[in-house]
Amino acid sequence: MVVRLIVAFTLMALCVTIHAAGIAGALRRVRRMALSVQTFWSSLGLFIGLAVWIVVLHLSEIAVWAWAFVRGGALVDMPTALYFSAVTYTTTGYGDIVLPPPWRLDGGVEALTGILMCGWSTGFFFAIVNRLYGARPSALAS
């Protein structure tokens, strides 16, 4: 069980690394683009691009877990593992595919990782919206 937890926490750390690098890159890009966001359509384009990028990050993290499940022999093939990981990471939890008993704790850690990463993404998205459209002190004085 200790070995399974070490593997699960290593995968979680890899997901945090992917997410941190992806969010940092997105933040640099948003900072460059923020000055040109002046219309509804330009801000809409920024938000769509940001949403797509965040989903790509999550899909990358799901693929990391799926790869580990296939590599470790917990699931038979990559399509099954990707489906299982997507359902687990997003905490949908259909239950139509389950991990073998020694691996079940890994599934729980994946779900907790997904909750954390989705929360981080939500906070990041909110921060961007707030910076672009948040109330400015001069606007409040009027």
pLDDT digit string, tens, across residues 51-108:
999 999 999 999 999 999 999 999 999 999 999 999 999 999 999 999 999 999 999 9
What is the pLDDT, as a whole number, of residue 133?
A: 79
* Amino acid at site 91: T
Domain range holding 86? Answer: 2-133
- The reply to whether 49 falls in a domain is yes
The pLDDT of residue 104? 94
Domain count, the chain: 1
Whether residue 25 is contained in a domain is answered as yes
Residue with more model confidence, 138 or 119:
119
Q: What value does the mean pLDDT take over residues 101-118?
A: 96
Q: How many CB atoms neighbour CB 21 within 10 A?
A: 11
Q: Residue 39: its pLDDT value, please?
A: 80
Does residue 142 form part of some domain?
A: no
Those residues with Cβ within 8 angstroms of residue 34's Cβ, 6 or more apart along the chain or in another chain: 131, 132
CATH number at residue 34: 1.10.287
Asked whether residue 17 is assigned to any structural domain, the reply reads yes
Alpha carbon distance 84, 106 (integer Å) = 12
Give the pLDDT of residue 116.
98
Q: Is 141 inside any structural domain?
A: no
pLDDT in the model for residue 138: 47
Spell out the long-range contacts of 32-36 with Cβ–Cβ below 8 A and sequence spacing 24 or more. Answer: 34/131, 34/132
Inside any domain, residue 96: yes
Residue 138 in any domain: the answer is no
Q: Rounded to 5 degrees, what are φ and ψ at 136?
A: -100, 145
Sequence-separated (6 or more) residues with CB below 8 Å from residue 26? 50, 53, 54, 124
Q: Do 110 and 11 touch, CB atoms closer than 8 A?
A: yes
Query: Does residue 77 form part of some domain?
Result: yes
